[in-house]
Chains A and B, each alone.
Chain A
């Protein structure tokens, strides 16, 4: 299909002592974005789910401000359907780096009657209301998200600095042009800016960077044996969130997760990649995108992500 030859480096780049690898270039750009926000905003916050993208974001923030502390707190929108390994990772990370964590709980909103459980049990789309509430209550003016443009076609249209209106909404037709590396963070009271330092990264870049920097991840990203059951073409983990139902049966399989989100809509994939090298080889050979393989919420409609983003989803 292609005629690319197995040359790993460009000869002219390799000969140039000033050449930066693509990971160094992406790292440099992301650090620049973190420092711009630190310099221009009053109350930034990092959305932190314990997933690989937010873990890489935090790692970059730690490097950007070292040896000083990261000048931002963390915000986790807790769907109530988390993988225990991920919550454990989250809490250990916060502890180790002396960070401050805000938790916005979907369960609390359901308990208070301000959100209603969906018939399909999926809580991922319910995150938007607690997220916007936390942004409002915390008076956060810049909210870092780990979203990447390669994830989804609506995200491919997203700016690095993305202005949100007082309702948290995104209007793709009214985005500011983004020129050079001059990010415009001006906003009116009540508005905030979503900031995506990993915009230009791909799933493979994220994994190559995790390997290079030797970043620890929750164990569920690596192949392990676990009980799963089949639903809508994905392997889901059983739990109090509502599975398996009648007619769905548990089986033990060797699996891993490519994304980590709400247990009700994040599927595992069959895999024996139990080391980072094996994971990278597996992703490079995969014929499915990470979201196509493992996220039910994006399959709801052709514009599922765009519609959620318009409402304030990150």
Chain B
């Protein structure tokens, strides 16, 4: 019955993460990040090492992997079996879909969107990057920056992932040579910066040998920066929300109509950006009605102010007509309404998106009918070249579209708000998610300026 005692007080003295740290660690922060790498870059090894060394792979999971590996005639445990959860994935030895994995250190909790590097890369990476605050792009030190690397950098830039880590892997296979790393880091940083990626950190690693993943490398003393885990633990995850205009999409109207709360009328939602304060003059869109915030209830506690991404309930001084799908914003910084949308989209469905197609558009809590008016161009991520008038977008294509909606939307540019600048296109016939949309220009301002500085002609610049 030895397996029965597993839960007991078998504190592993070798584990740096002391159990006591977790008892009071409810205040640790949360980082969502995504990994991107092609099949042989060693992504599984890196993910495996992060999970393993942060004690997130437990004994029974390792035993299951060892058992399954032996059953297949493999001598050493295949750590990919830890992450390939589906029967078809194990049978074919491929990763089919984005998986979300969790690990923690006493300093921070991590949600990792583990995106497969195979042929369906674009929609998978877009899915993973959509919620990520940081992306780890893996490069094989022997190959340097390749097409796939540029593709990953471009997706991270398009999705406006705030932090990008370039992990130059397999340094053990290039004799841990600094010039190899420096050249790759220089090339990648120049390219990613030209796309407007705001922050790039390059780290030389060997996922297999463990150099600079969790522990500093003993062989690369020329590198003075953080390990991958150290960087993940310390990268700032909270920008200052008071810099952003407040956006509050109404999800649900709470009206108890009970003896205790006969007149209570609260607007429930998650603050999409900025800060809301009691006393703020606000406008409800699309109606344009105005009122003042009377009270904010942050899940059971009355507060004077609340900010993104808190879920709250807001009450106003006036009984104006507001329902699900409306947006409450400070009157001074309310967004414009529009029925004509220009956006960059990534097509995620197997059936194509075509000009003239009638779709549903889901933006924040509002779903409206929309028409695909035009698809002016398609982008090749490898070299960022544009193909005019492709006629349609197939699975994994990224392109520009113009849409006309049946009702006005309070849409921000994706560059200003990932939450109120993003939308989905949905097939009204069966509900299939067709397309991920980002309103406004594709790449960040820095990119457009760089293109101008290079003397590039307007049509060929980054301002795609």
B123 at the A interface (CB under 8 A):
yes
Give CA–CA (A68, B101) in the complex, Å: 35
Q: Does A271 make an interface contact (CB < 8 A)?
A: yes
Known A2-B54, A18-B241, A68-B255: A173·B7 in contact at CB below 8 Å:
no
Instruction: Report the bound CA distance from A312 to B312 in whole Å.
Output: 34
Q: Is A281 touching B100 in the complex (CB atoms < 8 A)?
A: no
Asked if residues B60 and A285 are in contact (CB atoms below 8 Å), the reply is: no
A4 interfacial contact with B, CB 8 Å: yes
The reply to whether B104 and A204 contact each other, CB–CB distance below 8 Å, is yes
Q: Which of B11-19, B37-45, B167-175, B284-292 contacts A (4 or more CB under 8 A)?
A: B11-19
A36 in contact (CB, < 8 A): yes
- Residue from A181, A184, A277 in contact with B426 in the complex, judged by beta carbons closer than 8 Å: A184
**A-B interface pairs (CB < 8 A), number:** 324
Chain A interface extent, by class = 35 or more
State whether the Cβ of B64 lies closer than 8 Å to any Cβ in chain A.
yes
Q: Which of B7, B25, B86 contacts A269 (CB 8 A)?
A: B7
Complex Cα distance, B255 from A280, in Å, reads 38
Which of A78-86, A146-154, A238-246 is the contact stretch? A146-154
Q: How far is the CA of A29 from the CA of B236 in the complex (A)?
A: 20
Q: Is B333 an interface residue (CB 8 A)?
A: no
Within 8 Å CB of B432, what residues of A?
Answer: 176
Is the CB–CB distance between B87 and A270 below 8 Å? no
Interface residue ranges of A175-205 to B (CB < 8 Å)? 175-182, 184, 186-188, 199-200, 202, 204-205
A21 touches B311 (CB 8 A): no
Q: How far is the CA of A267 from the CA of B5 in the complex (A)?
A: 12
Say how far A77's CB is from chain B's closest CB, in angstroms.
24
A66 CA / B240 CA spacing, docked (Å): 29
Task: Report the contact-size class of chain B (Cβ under 8 Å from the partner).
Answer: 35 or more
Enumerate A155-191 residues with CB–CB distance to B below 8 Å.
155-157, 163, 172-173, 175-182, 184, 186-188
Write the B336-371 contact mask toward A (1 if CB under 8 angstroms, else 0). Answer: 000000000000100000000000101011000000
A311 to chain B, nearest CB (A): 13
B96 engages A288 (CB within 8 Å) = no
Query: A135–B365 Cα gap in the complex (Å)?
Result: 26
Shortest beta-carbon distance from B217 to chain A in Å: 12
- Given A63-B299, A280-B22, the answer on whether A22 and B4 have CB atoms closer than 8 Å is no
Residue-wise, chain A 263-290 has the 8 Å CB interface mask toward B (1 for contact) of 0000101111000010011111111110
Contact with A along B393-426 (1 / 0, CB 8 A): 0000000000000000000000000110011101
Q: Among A1, A19, A307, which residue has its beta carbon within 8 angstroms of that of B238?
A: A19
With a CB–CB cut-off of 8 A, which chain B residues contact A173? 88, 96-97
Q: Which of B73-97 contact A (CB under 8 A)?
A: 82-88, 90, 96-97
A4 x B105 contact (CB < 8 A): yes
Choose one: A27, A182, A188; the contact of B430 (CB below 8 Å).
A188
Q: Given A1-B53, A67-B256, A172-B86 in contact, is the A10-B28 Cβ separation under 8 Å?
A: yes
Across the interface, do B85 and A306 meet the contact criterion of CB distance under 8 Å?
A: yes
A31 touches B436 (CB 8 A): no
Give the residue name and chain of the B residue nearest to A185 (CB): B431
User: Does any Cβ of B come within 8 Å of A38's Cβ?
Assistant: yes
> Are B87 and A303 in contact, with the CB atoms below 8 A?
yes
When A and B form their complex, which 6 residue pairs have the shortest distance between CB atoms, in order from nearest? A186-B431, A292-B60, A153-B85, A269-B7, A284-B22, A68-B256
Q: A3-B216, A9-B27 are in contact. List 18 more A-B contacts (CB 8 A).
A: A2-B53, A2-B105, A2-B214, A27-B299, A156-B85, A157-B86, A172-B96, A177-B98, A180-B130, A184-B433, A209-B26, A234-B4, A267-B4, A280-B22, A284-B17, A284-B23, A292-B61, A302-B90
List 20 contacting pairs A-B, 8 Å CB cutoff, sorted by A: A2-B16, A2-B105, A9-B107, A13-B238, A22-B108, A28-B299, A29-B270, A35-B251, A63-B300, A68-B258, A179-B348, A179-B436, A200-B111, A208-B26, A212-B26, A280-B22, A287-B12, A288-B6, A292-B64, A303-B87
